[in-house]
Every structure is written in C-alpha cells, then in structure tokens.
C-alpha cells in the first residue's frame, strides 16, 4: 500500500535532498580544486631565472579536472600508451614525501599534468638549471642528510633549494626500483616515438645526469612556473 506524504513533510524531504546534492557536488569538485590548490601553493625556489617547485608532483587529475588513471598491475603498466600514475610499490605512504610516479604519456597529455600557472620543464630548461649550477649541480640539487637519501649522498648541500628527493622509478615492464637511491624526473621533450629525455640525481654522485628512456617508465615530475 502506498503512503501519501503530507505537503509539509514532502517539502522537508525535497529540501534535504537538494542540500545533500549540493554537499556531494561540493565534495567532488573540491577534491580536484584542493589537490590543484595544494600544488599551486607549495613552496617554490628561484634558480637562476627559473622558479621551481620544491616538491614532486602529487596530482591524480589533469588540469582540466579529468582523472588520471592509477595503474597498479605491472602487465597493464607495461602496455600503456596513455597517461597513468602509481605510488612506488603501490604504497600510498610513499606519496607524502616522494609524490607520485608518472609515465611520459601523462606528462605529454594535452589536458595538462601541471597545475595552472606551471608547466613540465623541457630538456633545455633542465639543461639551463644544470648549467647555472655548474659541474656539481647534482649535489646542489639534492636534499641533505640521510632521512630520505641512503648513505653516502655524495656532496649533497641543497644550496639551490631544489630539495631533490630519491623517489626511485617504475620500469617499462612495471617493476619498482631504487627508491632512496635515485631521483628521476621527466622532461617534456620527446626524443623519438618511443623514448623521452629525463634528469637523474644519484646517492653516490654530485652530478645531474641525463639520458632518454622508454615513455612507459614511471618517473617523478617537478614543475616550473610559467
């Protein structure tokens, strides 16, 4: 038997429903807005003529609000030709310090991996940083101490203020390697259809290394202000 709702009660039910809908909508949109706001408001440092973030990127949405898929499975990661992210060893506890790891397809996605007002540095912009800091650029970029870097963390002074962190990487076949030993960051510059340029800091060196790796690799990302 159907029960007829009295007009006053019906109005109250409608008001509660509208209120809940607005609250849920606010929660969903604020999740994206807060995430981008965190990235926009984190500390930055001037190195030469560039303004760098001093934390690794930790977003899970593109700048337009679209979701970036999280991919845990190694076999699926190896076959990707579109953007994705992961935590090191799929452990969310690592993100507070080291941020997320992204494949290059996420870096290159036209929806924008970097928050508004920022961009992923090109190979030439990374080169400018290395040139400005000189032959021991790696030591000047690395966070000091052994809290996150393993011993010996050679010549780490962080005199640049960059606070480079050893977030390790995810290989093109989905394996996780060398957290606390290596920090690797994508550039926005493609080398060819299958590889792109990156920069690397090492616990046993004061150099800022560079080379190219498959786009399926999962690396950290730093941003430069526009």
pLDDT in tens, 10-30: 333 333 333 333 333 332 332
Tally of domains within the chain: 2
The answer to whether residue 1 sits within a structural domain is no
**27 and 81 belong to one structural domain:** no
| 60 within domain boundaries | yes
Residues of the chain with pLDDT under 50: 1-34, 37
- Stated as kind and residue range, the H or E segment containing 4 is none
Q: pLDDT at position 43, please?
A: 83
Task: Verify that 116 and 188 share a domain, yes or no.
Answer: yes
Please check whether residues 104 and 19 belong to one and the same domain: no
**Residue-range definition of the domain harbouring residue 27:** 11-41
Predicted local confidence at residue 87, as pLDDT: 98
DSSP per-residue string spanning 160-221: TS--B---BEE-TTS-EE-TTTEEEEEEEEE-SSSEEEEEEEETT-S--EEEEEETT-BBB-
Q: Does residue 97 fall inside a structural domain?
A: yes
Q: What pLDDT does residue 79 have?
A: 97
């Amino acid at each position: 038997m159907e029960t007829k709702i009295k007009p006053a009660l019906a109005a109250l039910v409608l008001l509660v429903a509208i209120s809940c809908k607005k609250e849920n909508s606010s929660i969903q949109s604020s999740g994206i807005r807060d995430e981008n706001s965190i990235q926009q408001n984190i500390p930055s440092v001037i190195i030469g003529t560039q303004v760098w973030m001093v934390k690794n990127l930790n977003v899970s949405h593109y700048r337009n609000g679209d979701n970036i898929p999280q991919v845990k499975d190694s076999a699926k990661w190896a076959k990707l030709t579109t953007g994705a992210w992961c935590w090191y060893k799929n452990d969310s506890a690592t993100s507070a310090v080291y941020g997320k790891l992204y494949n290059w397809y996420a870096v290159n996605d036209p929806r924008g991996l970097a928050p508004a007002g920022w961009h992923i540095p090109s190979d030439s912009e990374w080169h400018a940083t290395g040139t400005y800091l000189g032959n021991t650029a790696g030591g000047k970029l690395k966070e000091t101490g052994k809290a996150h870097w393993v011993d010996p963390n050679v010549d780490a002074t962080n005199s640049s203020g960059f606070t480079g962190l050893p977030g390790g990487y995810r290989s093109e076949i989905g394996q996780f390697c060398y957290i606390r030993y290596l920090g690797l960051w994508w550039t926005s510059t493609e080398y060819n259809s299958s590889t792109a340029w990156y920069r690397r800091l090492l616990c046993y060196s004061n150099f800022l290394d560079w080379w190219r790796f498959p786009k399926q690799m999962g690396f950290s990302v730093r941003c430069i202000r526009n």
